[in-house]
A and B are shown apart, each in its own frame.
Chain A
Amino acid sequence: MDFISILSIFVLACFVGYYVVWSVTPALHTPLMAVTNAISSVIIVGALIAAAEAGSPAAKWLGLLGVVLASVNIFGGFAVTERMLAMYKKKEKK
Chain B
Amino acid sequence: MGSLFSNHSTQALAGVQLRQLRFWIPAFAGMTVLTATPAHAATGEAVNPWVALAYLVAGVFFILALRGLSSPATSRTGNRYGMIGMAIAVVTTLATHFPGSNPCDELVASGGTGLCTDVFMPDWASFAEIVVAIAIGAVIGLTIARRIAMTSMPELVAAFHSLVGLAAVLVAAAAFLNPGAFGILDAAGSIAPVSRVEMILGAAIGAITFSGSVIAFAKLSGRMSGSPILLPARHIINLGTLAAIIVLTAIYAMQPIAGPAEGMLFWIVLALAFVIGFLLIIPIGGADMPVVVSMLNSYSGWAAAAMGFTLGNSAMIITGALVGSSGAILSYIMCRAMNRSFISVIAGGFGADDSAASGAADGGEQRPYKQGSADDAAFMLEQAEKVIIIPGYGMAVAQAQHALREMGDILKEKGVEVKYAIHPVAGRMPGHMNVLLAEANVPYDEVFELEDINSEFAQADVAFIIGANDVVNPAAKTDKSSPIYGMPVFDVDKAKQVFFIKRSMGGVGYSGVDNDVFYMDQTMMLLSDAKKMVEEIVKALD
Which of B24-32, B135-143, B229-237 faces chain A? Answer: B135-143
Q: Which residues of A31-54 are within 8 A (CB) of B?
A: 31-54
Q: Are B174 and A62 in contact (CB under 8 A)?
A: yes
Complex CA gap A20/B70 in Å reads 8
Q: Are B304 and A40 in contact (CB under 8 A)?
A: yes
Complex CA gap A48/B185 in Å reads 19
Q: Are A73 and B178 in contact (CB under 8 A)?
A: no
- Size bracket, chain A contacts: 35 or more
Q: Say whether chain B's binding surface is mostly helix, strand, loop, or mixed.
A: helix
Q: Which residues of B395-432 are within 8 A (CB) of A?
A: 422, 424, 427, 429-432
Q: Are A69 and B174 in contact (CB under 8 A)?
A: no
Complex CA gap A47/B315 in Å reads 14
Q: Are B177 and A80 in contact (CB under 8 A)?
A: no
Complex CA gap A77/B137 in Å reads 11
Residues of B within 8 A of A53 (CB): 97, 99, 178, 180-181
Complex CA gap A16/B62 in Å reads 11
Q: Are B326 and A36 in contact (CB under 8 A)?
A: yes
Q: Are A17 and B93 in contact (CB under 8 A)?
A: no
Q: Which residues of B61-88 are within 8 A (CB) of A?
A: 62-63, 65-67, 69-73, 75-76, 78-79, 82-83, 85-86
Contact for A49 among B97, B156, B445, CB less than 8 A: B97
Q: How far is the CB of A94 from chain B (nearest CB, A)?
A: 10
Of chain B, the residue at the smallest CB distance from A38 is B82
Complex CA gap A71/B318 in Å reads 19
Of chain A, the residue at the smallest CB distance from B439 is A87
Q: Which residues of B141-199 are within 8 A (CB) of A?
A: 141-142, 144-146, 148, 150, 153, 156-157, 160-161, 163-164, 166-168, 170-171, 173-175, 177-178, 180-182, 194
Q: Are B444 and A90 in contact (CB under 8 A)?
A: yes
Assess whether B447 is interfacial by the CB under 8 Å rule.
Answer: yes
Supposing A48-B93, A88-B72 touch, asked if A29 and B311 sit within 8 A by C-beta, the answer is no
Assess whether B33 is interfacial by the CB under 8 Å rule.
Answer: no
Complex CA gap A3/B264 in Å reads 27
Q: Are A10 and B305 in contact (CB under 8 A)?
A: yes
- Size bracket, chain B contacts: 35 or more
Give 16 pairs: A residue, B residue, CB < 8 Å, sorted on A.
A1-B46, A3-B309, A24-B326, A29-B431, A30-B153, A32-B69, A33-B157, A34-B153, A45-B315, A47-B174, A52-B97, A70-B167, A72-B144, A76-B145, A76-B160, A78-B82
Interfacial residues, chain B to chain A (CB-CB below 8 A):
46-47, 52, 55, 58-59, 62-63, 65-67, 69-73, 75-76, 78-79, 82-83, 85-86, 89-90, 93-94, 97-99, 101, 123, 126-127, 129-130, 133-134, 136-138, 140-142, 144-146, 148, 150, 153, 156-157, 160-161, 163-164, 166-168, 170-171, 173-175, 177-178, 180-182, 194, 293-294, 297, 300-301, 303-305, 307-327, 329-330, 333, 422, 424, 427, 429-432, 434-435, 438-439, 441, 443-447, 449
8 closest Cβ contacts across the A-B interface? A71-B137, A29-B431, A76-B141, A75-B141, A17-B325, A13-B321, A50-B174, A79-B145
